[in-house]
Structure 1
């Protein structure tokens, strides 16, 4: 334990690290320091940041503080964990900064041996845990004893300063300036947190029959509006009496509701306009894709379905933008032209792929099956790329 300041009959010290028979925080050196300070001073404040440690050393420190001839106040400045929480219980007063923690759990150890040995170790641990939990109960009000027993489950339990205060194992919570936070304020914050929790739980479970009640947190919405109106924060508000204030408040609420409805209507119309614009854009795009041979008419419904939202439309544009045109299937007009050409000697040596599509589509289809090289050359001349076989 390190002495950090002395003033008149008061002295401040800091205890940090582990409690260990071999470390600086051992029972013998601690006992000697307390005795020496008790001879010279009347009050001792110990700032604590302790990770816990040896049970027997901690119990000895507890007993030294319990019977010391000096008034001892402990202040947790970081963490008081495990055995580090026990010697606090012997102090006359215990405080925690509101951003600090305590960690409570049952006694633990390591063991080696057969089942008989391990059973004895377990029995000893149970006895030690019973003693330690009795120390908590001695500090706590009787109506909280059942709460501490819940912590005898083998788990680590991390408690905030507020939770420690509610449990009764500390005397108060202090702020950054070392000033104690009033209990009423701590309770108000706790109720505020619980109120919000209940409100949002009710909202999730709400079935539409009746709206959940809003939590009363510090000020109601009406009180806030009244305060703002009195401060003339709203344009056009100039209430000077209670009656006028009520009328102005009602008028403001009605105006706000009307503005909200108008804004919603505008947003709805903008959304409809956007949908119509996209429909037109999709139609024009697919018309052009069909015209250039990027898609066939039979595929159009498929692509229209993909383009129902903006993301799908972008995907279609990316796909078709890198796709090669698809040869048109035989049409009735093409078949008629092909029939008209039958029986006549036609020079097709200079025909392009488009000529075959327009004048002899079935011949083009047969060419793709029987003379792939010729079909491939025509396709490449037309579109600049080789077709996939």
Structure 2
């Protein structure tokens, strides 16, 4: 069976992955995807449900998938939006759940400030990002650049069938041949292990909060 790798949550920088993992938050970095790929080049299924994140991370994941020697199937189970939609264009095959969506839009900055020269630089950077994004979509869909740009300008949400019709996905997933599996081989942790993890994590969070309160008290006292 192919190895299953999760691409879920925001696309984040490599040096942020540890923090997200510590707090038990779903997130994916380019490094986490690269390290999860089998060394023997065997087949991989990428489970995708992400609203996107940093476009540079999406580009990095796209390139990683393209360079992988084995066959990669991206399964869009919920959403592949923004940078995540760029990332999955690197898969050999994209399948999408009938209830899922793919969304594409132009690149954006969360905040830009400065003089007119600074704003011009920011605009040029965004245009370069748009061009890079378009390259990935064109390679997958075969659509004209101008047509893709119009879809990006409109911040286009595509249903499963629309994504297939436009070439962003190859087929809509079917579930007729899949069977429910109830065994230890499916990789699921016993509920007792999960309960213990969350209990200890909650305890650790409380310890950190108490420590922060003590630090705050000390700072107040020092300021008196």
Match of 2:64 in 1: 64
Matched, 1:28 2:7: no
RMSD across aligned positions (CA): 1.8
Distance of aligned partners of 1:33 and 1:13 in 2 relative to their CA distance in 1, 3 Å threshold: closer
Q: Where does structure 2 lack aligned partners over 5 or more consecutive residues?
A: 18-26, 179-224
Normalising by structure 2, report the TM-score.
0.69
Find runs of 4+ consecutive structure 1 residues off by over 2 angstroms: 144-147, 175-179
Larger Rg over CA atoms: 1
The number of equivalent residue pairs is 166
**1:174 Cα shift?**
1.6
2:164 alignment partner, SS class: helix
For 2:134 and 2:73, how far apart are their aligned partners in 1? 21
Match of 2:54 in 1: 54
**1:175 Cα shift?**
3.0
CA contact (8 A) 2:48 2:75 kept: yes
**1:126 Cα shift?**
0.6
Match of 2:140 in 1: 139
For 1:164 and 1:29, how far apart are their aligned partners in 2? 27
1:134 alignment partner, SS class: helix
CA contact (8 A) 2:134 2:145 kept: no
Distance of aligned partners of 1:152 and 1:80 in 2 relative to their CA distance in 1, 3 Å threshold: closer
Match of 1:231 in 2: none
Q: How does 1:204-353 map to 2 (within 5 A)?
A: none
For 2:125 and 2:145, how far apart are their aligned partners in 1? 22
CA contact (8 A) 1:147 1:167 kept: no
- The CA deviation string for residues 110-138 of structure 1, in whole angstroms up to 9 with x for no partner, is 21211210111011101110110111001
For 2:167 and 2:147, how far apart are their aligned partners in 1? 10
**1:177 Cα shift?**
3.9
Match of 2:123 in 1: 122
1:18 alignment partner, SS class: coil
Match of 1:163 in 2: 162
Distance of aligned partners of 1:115 and 1:174 in 2 relative to their CA distance in 1, 3 Å threshold: same
- The CA deviation string for residues 181-216 of structure 1, in whole angstroms up to 9 with x for no partner, is xxxxxxxxxxxxxxxxxxxxxxxxxxxxxxxxxxxx
More helix, by proportion:
1
1:86 alignment partner, SS class: helix
2:10 alignment partner, SS class: strand
Matched, 1:76 2:80: no
